[in-house]
Amino acid sequence: MERKEGCDQNIFLYCSEGEGTVNIEGKRYILRENEAITIPRSQRHSYYANDTDPWSILWFHFKGSDTEYYPLKEGKIVRFQSNRTKNRMMYLFDLLFQTLDGSYTERNFIYISKVLDLILAETYIKEKIGEINEPNKHVTNIVRFMYAHLGEPLTLERICDEFGLSKSYVNAIFLRSAQRAPMDFFTNLKIREACNALRSSDRYIYEIAQGLGYKDQYYFSRLFKKIVGVSPKEYREGKEIYYK
């Protein structure tokens, strides 16, 4: 395959066996068994199997606002360390095939998007053997603390006191790991939880706001619209969504 102008979607490639070559913007990568790479959207590329040990690959094209959470533009090969991971990848792709063989309903499309998200998380988010370090442990523990206190108006000071860390250090590790400040990250967790509640329950908007620590419903609605692009009411009604 060769696309001199690139394409409008990202392309995820997973090699289950054999070997092949992927060229992205003039840079050459050798993709081998149990490795994956993403070709970023709009970048010229080509890829082909090795002549003597041709690959078997699984792939999908994708785009969407949540892709910003993955380091897709780095253009690097991700090596999976174990056959257990390979089995998981094959299983997840099999789920996609089974679902696509069914009807093209909204439920199936939602399910497919979740499976795609899980494949990307398996590749780019889940810690590989030997990768985890002290800053990553701190980010992990802080995010778990945030999830446990979604209904509270947490402050950076309280988080730092809880873990005995300085504000500058916490800001630095979040900017490096999550590409955003810790309290901005916390706010987005709250809004994502609000999205889930709006779609999966019939609770009043003010009840959802209060459950997430926002006493002022109108402030919550303004914040929600700033992040999601539509008001909570419009989101619940299924209006067009532009998640910023």
* Whole-number pLDDT of residue 160: 94
* Whole-number pLDDT of residue 244: 46
Q: Are residues 114 and 15 in the same domain?
A: yes
Q: Are residues 143 and 173 in the same domain?
A: yes
Choosing from 91, 124, 157, the residue where a domain stops is 124
- Using left for φ > 0, alpha for ψ between -120 and 50, and beta otherwise, residue 34 falls in left
Q: How many domains does the chain have?
A: 2
Instruction: Show the domain range for 166.
Output: 134-236
pLDDT (tens digit, 9 = 90+) per residue, 114-162?
999 999 998 987 755 445 567 788 998 999 999 999 999 899 999 999 9
pTM, to two decimals: 0.54
Q: Are residues 213 and 102 in the same domain?
A: no
243, pLDDT greater than 50: no
Q: Are residues 109 and 29 in the same domain?
A: yes
Choosing from 124, 151, 173, the residue where a domain stops is 124
Q: Are residues 14 and 106 in the same domain?
A: yes
Q: Are residues 155 and 117 in the same domain?
A: no
Q: What is the largest CA-CA distance in the chain?
A: 66
Is residue 79 domain-resident?
yes
Q: Are residues 109 and 145 in the same domain?
A: no
CATH at residue 66: 2.60.120.280
55 CB burial (10 A radius; 0-12, 13-18, 19+): buried
Is residue 241 domain-resident?
no
Q: Are residues 40 and 138 in the same domain?
A: no
Q: Give the 3-state secondary structure of the chain.
A: CEECCCCCCEEEEEEEECEEEEEECCEEEEEECCEEEEECCCCCEEEEECCCCECEEEEEEECCHHHHHCCHHHCCCEECCCHHHHHHHHHHHHHHHHHHCCCCCHHHHHHHHHHHHHHHHHHHCCCCCCCCCHHHHHHHHHHHHHHHCCCCCCCHHHHHHHHCCCHHHHHHHHHHHHCCCHHHHHHHHHHHHHHHHHHHCCCCHHHHHHHCCCCCHHHHHHHHHHHHCCCHHHHHCCCCCCCC
Q: Are residues 100 and 8 in the same domain?
A: yes
Choosing from 80, 95, 124, the residue where a domain stops is 124
Q: Are residues 13 and 66 in the same domain?
A: yes
CA atoms within 13 A on the CB side of 225: 11
Q: How large is the angle between the packed helices 156-163 and 134-148, nearest 10 degrees?
A: 120
Angle in degrees, CA 182, 120, 133, rounded to 5: 50
Instruction: Report, as an integer, the average pLDDT of 92-106.
Output: 87
* Whole-number pLDDT of residue 156: 95
Whose tokens are 């309290």? That residue is 183
Q: Are residues 106 and 183 in the same domain?
A: no
Angle in degrees, CA 84, 174, 140, rounded to 5: 40
Is residue 100 domain-resident?
yes
Q: Are residues 112 and 139 in the same domain?
A: no
Distant-in-sequence, close-in-space partners of 27: CB < 8 Å, separation ≥ 6: 75
User: What is the chain's mean pLDDT, rounded?
Assistant: 89
